[in-house]
Structure 1
């Protein structure tokens, strides 16, 4: 299976995996799965670090790039966000939904707003 991790799932998987469901911990550990992290997620983390809302360890972005498949932001992803209903206004979440849809990925999240979109989800 191919999974796209929401930002909080990525952060919890690194710092506090006990916050994740047993199902999600298992899928993260399975070598049969391909795990994707969006460049949008890394950008969101960088913004939060800059404004003091998040602390990450030295080399965090390189570690993530080594441990996961990085999903670049493409023009088609941006265009797909325009087709999404305005269920909420978080641009990063909307981009993840668009990427999951276009890429045939299952989104791993606990965000109720994201779950409302018509995209395959595993609840974290």
Structure 2
């Protein structure tokens, strides 16, 4: 199964946050599943750190690549097709990072791991991050 992590899901996983449900954590840890982290997620994290809204304890350019590799996650680049898919989405959700993640999940046939109920309006397959 191909899983695409929402930004908060990645942060919960990396931080050992108890909000990440056992079922979701088991799916992420399952070696047969391919777990993807979008470039949009890295971009969102970098912006939050720069604005002082997130503290990772060290610069994101240092810890994110290391932790993504350590977790055996795969990077998902942003393509032109992903950007064009965003334009085709209805405007149920206004967060540009989430809209790009939704577009990527739809385009690539991935299951989103998120706790954001707004994703459901887009017909994307979801695994609750709290489950």
Q: Please classify the TM superposition score into its range, dividing by the shorter chain length.
A: over 0.9
Question: Residue in 2 aligned with 1:42?
Answer: 42
Q: Quick check: 1:120 aligned with 2:125?
A: yes
Q: Which contiguous aligned blocks of 4+ residues in structure 1 show a shift greater than 3 angstroms? A: none
Q: Quick check: 1:104 aligned with 2:120?
A: no
Report how many aligned residue pairs link the two structures. Answer: 124
Flag structure 1 segments of 5+ consecutive residues without an equivalent: none
Worse overlay, 6-15 or 108-117: 108-117
Does the Cα contact within 8 Å between 2:14 and 2:67 map onto a contact in 1?
A: no
User: Structure 1 length normalisation: TM-score?
Assistant: 0.95
Flag structure 2 segments of 5+ consecutive residues without an equivalent: none
What value does the CA root-mean-square deviation take over the aligned residues? 1.1
Does the Cα contact within 8 Å between 1:17 and 1:25 map onto a contact in 2?
A: no
Q: Quick check: 1:84 aligned with 2:92?
A: no
Question: Residue in 1 aligned with 2:65?
Answer: 62
Separation (CA, whole Å) in 2 of partners of 1:12 and 1:27: 14
Separation (CA, whole Å) in 1 of partners of 2:50 and 2:110: 30
Separation (CA, whole Å) in 2 of partners of 1:12 and 1:85: 28
CA apart distance, 1:16: 3.2
Does the Cα contact within 8 Å between 2:44 and 2:97 map onto a contact in 1?
A: yes
Question: Residue in 2 aligned with 1:71?
Answer: 76
User: Structure 2 length normalisation: TM-score?
Assistant: 0.90
Does the Cα contact within 8 Å between 1:45 and 1:54 map onto a contact in 2?
A: yes
Separation (CA, whole Å) in 1 of partners of 2:78 and 2:27: 24
